[in-house]
């Protein structure tokens, strides 16, 4: 993981941070990583800002969970109210989960009919895979070659971006991701569909029938954020072979791309959709949505119950998030501020030969760093850490870790743009190109 | 699932409940089940009571998630406060998750050294299985024959209580559960260990090496709640064969049995422990705990990150739960009120030939219904629904669905005992034994 702290990097931490880190390593241990060569210790958040113990503000241009802003007062009020009223499970009748499901499904314009609520994007992906495999009575799953879909056993199996020690079993086939920024979308779409077709043949050669193709509609960890419609033909291919198309909207969903859902740009009707991260602004909630026929086939045979899934408190948070996105026009904000940010990034790229591409959609933007066609991961790391010292939060991503990932809360406004652009310009200037080293992949 | 609503049961619902149910079935669909022949519609909860829309109170003698009481004001205040301060992930340094991990680990008296926080018991079980398989480089898991451990793909695979359509793959071996109420614990312990030994041989005959034995320390869904120490020898067997012992404390943990953890009654030191349900009183949080050596081996190789795991808001809820358990003496309460409740149940059993056994630990108690040695599931269903109409909530469980499950929030006091005992006596009288029919299994 490129953007991570290592004790061996020689950075001197403030005494209180060093002490906290010692305690943390003792009780949380090896599975936990920290961002940055010099980790940041946050004690407070508000809107697009996080604050350290000394009261310094950090502009958050990275976190996609607090979509309606850190410490959002509407979310806080609704959750707090609900905690004083009722919090129980879905084996009793309660109103909130039904009303919210209706409201959520409405945002899909007829593409989905039913929802199952769970606690995390990983649980949602895991359940979508269970459903697809049960409904088709098949095992094979096709995913992209640097995908990230989650951390349960089944979700990690289709997440090659987790690194070489994360085993990809024989019932999974990987395909190179399409370029969502391709200048010739028709050709790109045809070629991606052909790769999916080949993957199905590969699975069958191993005696495995295809149950589903799962695609993150914005290719977050494949480093290929973009906007052109290239996924429709692949969806047709998997359907023609009897499998389902699963749209992973955990990252692009809830207005980030300027559309409600990332798959809308592509001509396809998903069989299942998974959503998560921003859904409750950080209060754990996620969901699987789909056509009633798929839910009937699974739910009729298999008993599924998620103790915390659809609990009234998480539902209150999710309902408040929809209110805030609507009331504050945050989907439009993602489109308009995203366009301005993209223009600013393009200006930087015009001045800097080491920036090979600016791409993305809405407020999910990427700058790729290359020198003479060679990915420059070390420069990406240097830029990310330089910006951290200037108190602006972004990260790096992509198969070669050379893609700067800019993905702020959706309350990020035009007024925040100059600080981000200035910090980025300074960081690029302080870490010039010309010494490309690619690293190992990063996810989040 | 025995204790569930079916449209075909002919029960007439109140107009507003019928309307809500119609809407619910449209958007939530087939995977969702409701408790009771006449589902209950709750709008409010407080302490050990839930309230319907007409203001009627229901005594909750079933729900183990709201362990410190419905709408607990301390949990509410702490969560509400934290929502206004900071809610972010563990790739930044934050104080709360470290302090809580220290406090939690302290409750294990040296049995565990580190924690990983996740969102649900299912995620915790799934991660414990990933860890065990990675650390041992083996695939085989041994579980009890009517176990319930969760609903992710990997957790469902070791949860045969989910029913016949829930496939148990070839790398899983099932063993008949031990009787935790056995009158001769030494023999029971030896026989259970022998069954585990046989299961290991079975796995090896299929070419699968054993990675772990996972046991719910109170056998919740095997219907065999009890107190005698019978698990130690089996833990030694799995270790001798190079596998890990995983203690599933999602149901018995956090003081329910009168001990902090269910495994304490047994002479064993678990390699991994999973906890969940009551941990945040309904705010989603769960964890895997274990020895640092296991965490080092997994975390050193595999990148694990859980977006919502250990978020400051869920941690605030969990910390408030520990405060409440301590400040109100709820672990002792489970022991003392549990003993009184058990005595009351034993009195009922003395009057009723159809009650074949009273067992359990603390405030997790069970009444088994049999007629001449034949499980009587229909009587269990009748009792559960009769009590629902008397506004007292319990459920039924066990492989033959003939075990009444009584498992109230830990704030259940002596003052609530008479209403529970009276309702149970009346329900048993109204549904006499003599017509045994066993059904299909239930879980939660």
Distance CA B359, CA B336 (A): 15
Which of B28, B70, B158, B388 to substitute to test the interface with A, most A CBs within 10 Å? Answer: B28
8 Å CB contact between A336 and A201: no
Distance CA A239, CA B300 (A): 40
Domain end position, chosen among B272, B296, B327:
B327
Distance CA A70, CA A85 (A): 24
Judge whether A141 lies within some domain.
yes
Distance CA A372, CA A376 (A): 10
Q: What's the pLDDT at A10?
A: 81
Q: What's the pLDDT at B226?
A: 77
Backbone angles phi, psi at A230, to 5 degrees: -130, 5
Backbone angles phi, psi at B433, to 5 degrees: -70, -175
Looking at the fold, whether B230 and B107 belong to one and the same domain comes out as yes
Distance CA A313, CA A196 (A): 41
Q: Does A300 touch chain B (CB under 8 A)?
A: yes
Q: What's the pLDDT at A165?
A: 84
Looking at the fold, whether B267 and B386 belong to one and the same domain comes out as no
Q: What's the pLDDT at B414?
A: 97
Domain end position, chosen among A327, A353, A368:
A327
Q: Sort B115 into a burial class: Cβ within 10 Å, 0-12 / 13-18 / 19+.
A: buried
- The 3-state secondary structure of chain B reads CCCECCHHHCCCCCHHHHHHHHHHHHHCCCCCCCECCCCCEEEEEEECEEEECCCCEEEECCCCCCCCCECCHHHHHHHHHHHCCCCCCCCCECHHHHHHHHHHHHCCCCCCCEEEEECCHHHHHHHHHHHHHHHHCCCEEEEECCCCCCCCHHHHCCCHHHCCCCCCCCCEEEECCCCCCCCCHHHHHHHHHHHHHHHHHHHHHCCCCEEEEEEECCCCCCCCCCCCCCCHHHHHHHHHCCCEEEEECCCCCCCCCCCCCHHHHCCCCCCEEEECHHHHCCCCCEEEEECHHHHHHHHHHCCCCCCCCCCHHHHHHHHHHHHHHHHCCHHHHHHHHHHHHHHHHHHHHHHCCCEEEEEEECCEEEEEEEECCEECHHHHHHHHHHHHHCCEECEEECCCCCEEEECCCCCCCHHHHHHHHHHHHHHHHHCCCCCCCCCCCCCC
Structure tokens at A198: 């080949």
Q: How far away is chain B from the Cα of A242, in angstroms, using its nearest Cα?
A: 21
Q: How many CB pairs under 8 A join A and B?
A: 333
Which of B60, B78, B87 to substitute to test the interface with A, most A CBs within 10 Å? Answer: B87
8 Å CB contact between B251 and B216: yes
Residue of B nearest to A166 (CA): B302
- For the cut 50, the answer to whether the pLDDT of residue B440 exceeds it is no
Q: Does A162 touch chain B (CB under 8 A)?
A: yes
Q: How far away is chain B from the Cα of A115, in angstroms, using its nearest Cα?
A: 5
Q: Does B152 touch chain A (CB under 8 A)?
A: yes
Q: What's the pLDDT at A438?
A: 46
Residues 38-57 of chain B with CB under 8 A from chain A are: 39-45, 50
- Which of these, A211, A237, A236, lies nearest to A297 by C-alpha position? A211
Q: Does B182 touch chain A (CB under 8 A)?
A: no
Residue in A33, A302, A307 closest to B165 by CB:
A302
Residues of B in contact with A308 (CB under 8 A): 65, 119-120, 282, 284
Residue in A118, A127, A151 closest to B306 by CB:
A151
Mean pLDDT of all residues in B305-326: 97
Q: Does A318 touch chain B (CB under 8 A)?
A: no
Structure tokens at B306: 């859980």
Judge whether A442 lies within some domain.
no
Distance CA B167, CA B398 (A): 19
Residues of B in contact with A1 (CB under 8 A): 303
Looking at the fold, whether B63 and B86 belong to one and the same domain comes out as no
Structure tokens at B441: 């299994």
In tens, the pLDDT along B181-198 reads 888 999 999 999 999 999
Q: How far away is chain A from the Cα of B206, in angstroms, using its nearest Cα?
A: 19
Q: Does A93 touch chain B (CB under 8 A)?
A: yes
Looking at the fold, whether A258 and A344 belong to one and the same domain comes out as no
Kindly report the CATH number assigned to the domain that includes residue A335. 3.90.1150.10
Domain end position, chosen among B327, B348, B376:
B327
Mean pLDDT of all residues in B336-349: 97
Instruction: Compute the residue count for chain B.
Output: 444
Q: Does A76 touch chain B (CB under 8 A)?
A: yes
Instruction: Compute the residue count for chain A.
Output: 444
Judge whether B181 lies within some domain.
yes
- For the cut 70, the answer to whether the pLDDT of residue B360 exceeds it is yes
Residues 217-246 of chain A with CB under 8 A from chain B are: none
Looking at the fold, whether B87 and B235 belong to one and the same domain comes out as yes
Q: What's the pLDDT at A440?
A: 44
Q: Does A291 touch chain B (CB under 8 A)?
A: no
The total number of structural domains in chain B stands at 2
Extended beta strands in A98-216, E state = 114-118, 140-144, 172-175, 210-216
- For the cut 60, the answer to whether the pLDDT of residue B436 exceeds it is no
| Residue ranges making up the domain that contains B167 | 73-327
Mean pLDDT of all residues in B74-99: 97
Q: What's the pLDDT at A230?
A: 94
8 Å CB contact between A287 and A104: yes
Judge whether B336 lies within some domain.
yes
Judge whether B425 lies within some domain.
yes
Q: How far away is chain B from the Cα of A438, in angstroms, using its nearest Cα?
A: 19
Q: Which single residue is written with the structure tokens 């159809």?
A: B354
Judge whether A272 lies within some domain.
yes
Q: What's the pLDDT at B180?
A: 85
Structure tokens at A327: 């009331």
Looking at the fold, whether A320 and A405 belong to one and the same domain comes out as no
Q: What's the pLDDT at B439?
A: 46
* Angle at B85 (CA atoms; ends B80, B91), nearest 5 degrees: 115
Half-sphere exposure of B196 (CA within 13 A, CB side): 33
Which of B48, B86, B299 to substitute to test the interface with A, most A CBs within 10 Å? Answer: B86
* 3-state secondary structure at position A372: coil
Q: Does A28 touch chain B (CB under 8 A)?
A: yes
Distance CA B444, CA B431 (A): 24
Q: How far away is chain B from the Cα of A71, in angstroms, using its nearest Cα?
A: 5
Question: CA quadruple A317, A321, A322, A327: dihedral positive or negative?
Answer: positive
Judge whether B437 lies within some domain.
no
Q: Does B94 touch chain A (CB under 8 A)?
A: yes
Judge whether A437 lies within some domain.
no
Beta pairing, strands A244-248 & A210-216: parallel
Looking at the fold, whether A196 and A341 belong to one and the same domain comes out as no
Q: Does B289 touch chain A (CB under 8 A)?
A: no
Contact B120 A123 (CB under 8 A): yes
In tens, the pLDDT along B95-141 reads 999 999 999 999 999 999 999 999 999 999 999 999 999 999 999 99
Task: Give this prediction's pTM.
Answer: 0.96
Q: What's the pLDDT at A363?
A: 97
Kindly report the CATH number assigned to the domain that includes residue B291. 3.40.640.10
Looking at the fold, whether A336 and A323 belong to one and the same domain comes out as no
Q: Sort A373 into a burial class: Cβ within 10 Å, 0-12 / 13-18 / 19+.
A: exposed
Mean pLDDT of all residues in B5-22: 89
Q: How far away is chain A from the Cα of B239, in angstroms, using its nearest Cα?
A: 23
Residues of A in contact with B31 (CB under 8 A): 116, 295, 298-299, 302, 304
Structure tokens at B315: 């941690």
Looking at the fold, whether B357 and B424 belong to one and the same domain comes out as yes
Looking at the fold, whether B104 and B47 belong to one and the same domain comes out as no
Structure tokens at A284: 């754990």
Looking at the fold, whether A361 and A392 belong to one and the same domain comes out as yes
Per-residue pLDDT of chain A (444 residues; tens, 9 = 90+): 667 888 888 888 999 999 999 999 999 988 899 999 999 999 999 999 999 999 999 999 999 999 999 999 999 999 999 999 999 999 999 999 999 999 999 999 999 999 999 999 999 999 999 999 999 999 999 999 999 999 999 999 999 999 888 888 999 999 999 988 888 999 999 999 999 999 999 999 999 999 999 999 999 998 877 778 999 999 999 999 999 999 999 999 999 999 999 999 998 999 999 999 999 999 999 999 999 999 999 998 888 999 999 999 999 999 999 999 999 999 999 999 999 999 999 999 999 999 999 999 999 999 999 999 999 999 999 999 999 999 999 999 888 999 999 999 999 999 999 999 999 999 999 998 875 554 444 444
Looking at the fold, whether A124 and A272 belong to one and the same domain comes out as yes
Contact A27 B114 (CB under 8 A): yes
């Amino acid at each position: 993981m490129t953007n991570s702290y290592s004790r061996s990097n020689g950075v001197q931490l403030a005494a209180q941070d060093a002490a906290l880190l010692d305690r943390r390593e003792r009780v949380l241990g090896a599975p936990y990583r920290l961002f940055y060569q010099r980790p940041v210790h946050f004690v407070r958040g508000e809107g697009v800002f996080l604050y350290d113990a000394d009261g310094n503000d950090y502009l958050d241009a990275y976190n996609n969970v607090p979509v309606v802003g850190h410490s959002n007062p509407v979310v806080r009020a609704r959750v707090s109210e609900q905690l004083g009223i009722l919090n129980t499970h879905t084996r009793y009748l309660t109103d909130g989960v039904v009303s919210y499901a209706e409201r959520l499904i409405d945002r899909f314009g007829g593409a989905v009919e039913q929802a199952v609520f769970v606690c995390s994007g990983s649980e949602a992906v895991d359940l979508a895979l269970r459903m697809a495999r049960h409904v088709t009575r098949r095992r094979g799953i096709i995913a992209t070659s640097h995908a990230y879909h989650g951390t349960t056993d089944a979700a990690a199996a289709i997440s090659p971006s987790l690194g070489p020690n994360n085993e990809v079993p024989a019932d999974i086939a990987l395909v190179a991701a399409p370029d969502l920024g391709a200048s010739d979308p028709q050709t790109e779409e045809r070629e991606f569909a052909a790769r999916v077709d080949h993957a199905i043949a590969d699975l069958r050669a191993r005696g495995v029938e295809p149950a589903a193709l799962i695609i993150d509609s914005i290719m977050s960890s494949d480093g290929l954020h973009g906007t052109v419609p290239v996924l429709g033909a692949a969806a047709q291919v998997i359907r023609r072979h009897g499998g389902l198309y699963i749209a992973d909207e955990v990252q692009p969903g809830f207005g980030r791309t300027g559309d409600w859902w990332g798959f809308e740009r592509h001509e396809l009707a998903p069989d299942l959709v998974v959503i998560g991260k921003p859904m409750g602004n950080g209060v754990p909630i996620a969901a699987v949505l789909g056509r009633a026929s798929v839910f009937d086939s699974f739910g009729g045979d298999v008993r599924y119950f998620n103790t915390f899934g659809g609990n009234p408190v998480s539902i209150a948070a999710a309902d408040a998030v929809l209110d805030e996105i609507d009331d504050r026009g945050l989907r439009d904000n993602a489109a308009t501020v995203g366009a301005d940010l993209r223009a600013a990034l393009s200006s930087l790229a015009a001045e800097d030969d080491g920036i090979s591409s600016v791409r993305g959609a809405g407020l999910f933007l990427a700058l790729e760093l290359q020198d003479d066609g060679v990915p420059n991961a070390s420069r990406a790391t240097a830029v990310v850490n330089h910006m951290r010292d200037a108190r602006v939060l972004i990260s790096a991503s992509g198969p070669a870790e050379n893609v700067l990932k800019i993905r702020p809360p959706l309350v990020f406004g035009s007024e925040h743009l100059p600080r981000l652009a200035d910090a980025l310009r300074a960081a690029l200037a302080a870490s010039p190109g010309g010494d490309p080293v690619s690293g190992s992949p990063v996810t989040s």
